[in-house]
Amino acid sequence: MGIEMLHIDKSFGANDVLEDVSFTVTAGEIVALLGENGAGKSTLMNILGGVLQPDKGQLLLDGQPVRFHTPADSMKAGIGFIHQEMNLINDLPIYETLFVGRELTRHGLVDHAAMRAATKEIFARMEVALDPETMTRDLDASYKQIVEIARALQMNARFIIMDEPTTSLTQTEIERVFALMRTLAAQGVGIIFISHKLPEVMDICDRYVVLRDGHFIKAGPVAETTIDELAAAMVGHSVRTARLQRERVLGEVVLQAEQLNAASFHDINFAVRKGEILGITGLLGDGRSELFLSLLGAGENYTGTVRVNGQPIKLRSPQASVSAKLGYVPRNRKENAIIADMDVLDNGTIVSWPLTCRAGVINQNALEAGFAAQREALRIKMGHAHDPITSLSGGNQQKIVLAKWLATEPAVLILDNPTQGVDVGAKEEIYDIISQLADDAVAVIVLSSEAQEIIRLCDRALVMYHGLIAGEVSGEQLNEHTIMALATGGGLATAPNDSAFSGGDKESTI
């Protein structure tokens, strides 16, 4: 009993996306579908989900040939699809969002009470504390993802496709989702798990299938492979896992915060120097994103002092931040960093428009020349500059977001979850870009919920807990155990230097 996709081909014009790809999943099995952005994973699953039709090949369900012409056909066959791009309606309460297209009725009328009760039941099963009447727009990305998962579970699907379901979740939420996945598998549900987080694959999956450039590469039991072997199969060569810190002579303090307070954060003190990579981490709700949005003039008002190059400054708008040579790459690229209706060039230059404007006219030649330089420096894989930004892979979209900020030549670049939703190869390329920025004397601040990312990339890190800086870690203390202890309310034996968190006046060498 299961799904068999045999010898699948799919092309878009002259672009061969899948060529002779086969994939299977049986009832009660959790299978990882792995590959870089652009490897063909989403296309293969869109064929299974009825979104796309194959050019060649055969699809079998429980040994019988089937063809799904629409997503509704796939859903009726018992296949649930949690898409990478969330498809929620922000203007509805959660319980209505959960039942869109499948509303419960009584005497010909929508039964709101029954839908609320059913939503409470599924959330209780998931151990999620959400009010069904909360408006969907009021949820952050992690809880929107939980609602997507709840929708699939509510359909009682026999097979569930999970396309990057944990990208925006905390570790606690991930563990909760994994517990549900194991429960469903034990009940005979087959699960296809698409993820770039290879430790998660090792934790939750029974078997793996690797695609690269639209071709089947290898498959096998997860218990018989390693993270390094999976990464190498995905990108075609071995992937680094060692720490990326290197010796640098640090310059003077560029950005310093003193006693910052607002609703989401309290008593914040930190400093970052030229050539330093400072990590800031914690769990969901720790206040790190809110802190930097406020500091950059795009969040809640705060009290306290921010100094740029030693001078007190109050940034009251994102435009003022650009003028102060501060750049910010926000989290959730699709929601906050790219403009889907604009082309690649406009997305990669929009921040520079005011900088090239004279007498109300944008210097298009200067923009295009600057973008071409960034495209080459960042090794962006793309077609024409006027192609839609959505035509690029996730990793290359993220490079476009980086390009638009690097074009402003920032003195401080703040990166909020900079590798969220990108594959292992693109992640390493972005790490190289960040390291090169530090080599070029840019002060870099990396906000990340991935402890391993902070450990590999950053010179030191501040760990936040409920809006406070719980501690600073560096050297041997920069490890997952210490970070998690601080992020969950524990402490360090030795308190950090509260005056400037290792950002004093003397020159330092890492």
All domains of the chain in start order, with CATH: 2-235 (3.40.50.300), 253-487 (3.40.50.300)
**Does residue 473 carry a pLDDT above 60?**
yes
Could you give the CA distance from residue 73 to residue 422 in angstroms, rounded to a whole number? 30
What are 162-182's pLDDT values in tens digits? 988 887 676 777 887 888 889
| Confidence category of residue 245, pLDDT binned at 50, 70, 90 | low
Could you give the CA distance from residue 461 to residue 447 in angstroms, rounded to a whole number? 9
pLDDT of residue 500: 37
pLDDT of residue 52: 92
Least trusted range by pLDDT, from 239-248, 371-380, 408-417, 455-464? 239-248
| Confidence category of residue 483, pLDDT binned at 50, 70, 90 | confident
Task: Determine which helix (DSSP H) or strand (DSSP E) holds 191, and give its type and residue range.
Answer: strand 190-194
pLDDT of residue 410: 92
pLDDT of residue 112: 96
Could you give the CA distance from residue 222 to residue 204 in angstroms, rounded to a whole number? 9
Pairing, β 253-261 against β 268-273? antiparallel
| Confidence category of residue 444, pLDDT binned at 50, 70, 90 | very high
- Please report the sign of the dihedral spanned by the C-alpha atoms of residue 71, residue 76, residue 77, residue 79: positive
In the block, tokens 């560096």 appear at 474
What are 57-74's pLDDT values in tens digits? 999 999 999 999 999 899
Eight-class DSSP state of 13: T
pLDDT of residue 494: 41
- Please report the sign of the dihedral spanned by the C-alpha atoms of residue 59, residue 216, residue 199, residue 206: positive
**Does residue 495 carry a pLDDT above 50?**
no
What are 220-234's pLDDT values in tens digits? 999 999 988 888 888
Query: In whole numbers, what is the pLDDT of the chain averaged over residues?
Result: 86
**Does residue 510 carry a pLDDT above 60?**
no
What are 263-279's pLDDT values in tens digits? 999 999 999 999 999 99
Identify which of 217-226, 358-367, 442-451 has the greatest average pLDDT: 217-226
What are 119-170's pLDDT values in tens digits? 999 888 777 788 999 999 898 766 887 888 788 778 778 999 998 888 767 6
| Confidence category of residue 291, pLDDT binned at 50, 70, 90 | very high
Percent of the chain with pLDDT over 70: 92
The closest of 475, 442, 483 to 272, measured between CA atoms, is 442
**Does residue 491 carry a pLDDT above 80?**
no
Strands (E) across 367-504 are located at 412-416, 443-447, 460-465, 468-474
Long-range Cβ pairs for the range 493-500 (8 Å, 24+): 495/471, 496/462, 496/469, 496/471, 496/472, 497/472, 498/269, 499/269, 500/253, 500/256, 500/269, 500/270, 500/271
